[in-house]
Amino acid sequence: MSDALAAVTALTGERAVAARPMTGAVYQVRLASGATVIAKHGPVTAEVAGLRWLADTVRVPEVLGADDEWLVLARVEEGEPTPRAAEEFGRQLAAMHAAGAAAFGQAPPGGPVDAWIGMAPMVNVPAASWPEWYAEYRVAPYLRRCADAGTLRAAEVAVVEQVIERLPDLAGPPEPPARLHGDLWQGNVLWSADGHVRLIDPAAHGGHRETDLAMLALFGCPLADRVLAAYQEVAPLADGWAGRIPLHQLFPLLVHTELFGRGYAGRTVAAARQALADPGGAFAQDAPTV
């Protein structure tokens, strides 16, 4: 606790007087002024760069201070999801994606090549082609680690390898690199008391916009239909996008399989099999709305 107090005091210029742990190396810290801030300890350089990159187009918590080991954020008072906030979020998400990136795999300005998605390492290496980049830097590394650890069995690995081989045919129409949050599951979407949405914990990089939307659908999202409708009004998605949801979910599912074990193996292999099916076929009819 003393380290968190010292770090917050040094980075904000205000005296920190009390701290309590939240999850992992995250602390809620009270300042002498009575204000409360959030302090995170660990490799935070990529997150800081991502927050600043995304802040051009979406709402994120204010960065109050940061160094190589600590990040201090303004605390977001959480509220209930509302239709108005959902629609604003959809429009801002479309604007964030449209802001673009220099290349697929491009790190945010000032961000490192070696970054993180949750507790898993993630490499940001630029490439010109999304299918090639997605295969080499998002699917294959996590597949290898799951295979080496025995978390995915040989027959399961073979199914995912088929996806890698067929990625150019499965990827859909070419799109320019989008500016991605990169870890856009519902836990990183804060519905704040002031009636807006704020995004936290980015694994930001240049990628395919359908990846963010597929991840948002992975564990559900409040008022998903409102979010998607507002998004589509600003930036309509390419034909067949719903059938490509499992292709884009394959990356986060592999990450979950690596981090949390075989409890995610079945869902990972199911996504791979669905990705190999006709993108406009039966899965698209039952695809979850984002």
User: Which pTM does this prediction carry?
Assistant: 0.93
> Which pLDDT value is given to residue 280?
44
Residue 286 is among the residues annotated as catalytic for this protein: no
- Long-range CB pairs of 135-143, under 8 A, 24+ apart, other chains included: 135/164, 135/167, 137/105, 138/251, 139/163, 139/164, 139/167, 139/250, 139/251, 139/254, 140/164, 142/251, 142/254, 142/255, 142/257, 142/258, 143/254
Confidence of residue 1 (pLDDT cuts 50, 70, 90): low
Residue-level pLDDT at 244: 97
Half-sphere exposure of 81 toward its Cβ, with a 13 Å CA cutoff? Answer: 15
Residue 278: which pLDDT band, with cuts at 50, 70 and 90?
low
Does residue 226 register a pLDDT over 50?
yes
Percent of the chain at pLDDT above 90?
93
Residues 117, 128, 131, 145: is their CA dihedral positive or negative? negative
pLDDT of 23: 84
Does the pLDDT at position 279 exceed 70? no
Q: What pLDDT, on a 0 to 100 scale, did the predictor assign at position 24?
A: 80
Tell me the per-residue pLDDT of 84-130, one tens digit each, with 9 for 90 and over. 999 999 999 999 999 999 999 999 999 999 999 999 999 999 998 99
Residue 228: strand, helix, or coil: helix
Catalytic: which of 67, 183, 194, 225? 183
Whole-number average pLDDT of the chain: 94
Instruction: Report whether 179 contacts 96 (CB < 8 A).
Output: yes
Q: How confident is the model at residue 289 (pLDDT cuts 50, 70, 90)?
A: very low
Question: Could you read off the pLDDT of 157-213 as tens digits, one per residue?
Answer: 999 999 999 999 999 999 999 999 999 999 999 999 999 999 999 999 999 999 999
Regarding beta strands 36-41 and 26-31, do their DSSP bridges make them parallel or antiparallel, or are they unpaired? antiparallel
Q: How far apart are CA 286 and CA 277, in angstroms?
A: 13
pLDDT at 268: 98
